[in-house]
Each structure stands twice: as structure tokens, then as C-alpha cells.
Amino acid sequence: MCGFLAGGWRDCTFEPFREGVEISHLFRGEASAALLRYAPGAGVPAHRHAGLETILVLEGSQSDERGTYAAGTLVFNPAGSVHRVWSDKGCVVLIQWAKPVEFV
């Protein structure tokens, strides 16, 4: 892998995921990992986590109903939790999830 904290994620290939959000799959399997790149104002609608989700904000800031998370913040969303996610100014996050989410 490349040095994500030093901006190495910029060399990854991204594809559309949701309007204003792009994804770069890093690992697909029983658990998965990816980079998500949010354009300013973009978001992901409410969803429920079937397993643990871990997010590391690499650049910019990401928000949910609990707060705003700046670069360097590690966020844990346990199984059963529900939230929506957005980024007012844009961001890039490293995300790992144990099971796919269910949009609600």
C-alpha cells in the first residue's frame, strides 16, 4: 500500500459511488476496505451498520449526526448504529467495514 497519510491516496483510481462521492476499492472480501472521496456538499443517506465500520479521515472533514471529524480523526460505528454522512467542504476517508450496510 502507499502512504495514505502523506497523500499517497491521490494515486488511487476512483469510480462513482453516489452523487458527489467516489470510491476506490482497496480490499473486497468478508470484510472490505476502500477510500471514499466526497465533493463539497456531498453525502451518503441514512444507513444501518450490520457490522463494525471504522473510518480514518485523511483530508478535509466528514460529519454525521454526532459531530464533525477533521483529518486525523478515527471514527467507529458499531453494528446496529444508524447515521447519515456528509462533507460540507469535501474530504477523503479510509473506510473499513465488516458487513455491507443497509440503507434506511
Superfamily of domain 4-103: Jelly Rolls (2.60.120.10)
User: What is the pLDDT, as a whole number, of residue 11?
Assistant: 86
Confidence bin at 77 (pLDDT 50/70/90): very high
Rounded CA gap, 96 and 24, in Å? 12
Rounded CA gap, 41 and 53, in Å? 22
Mean pLDDT of 63-89: 96
- Residue 56: pLDDT above 70? yes
Rounded CA gap, 9 and 50, in Å? 27
User: What is the pLDDT, as a whole number, of residue 17?
Assistant: 95
pTM of this prediction? Answer: 0.91
Tell me the pLDDT of the chain averaged across its residues. Answer: 93
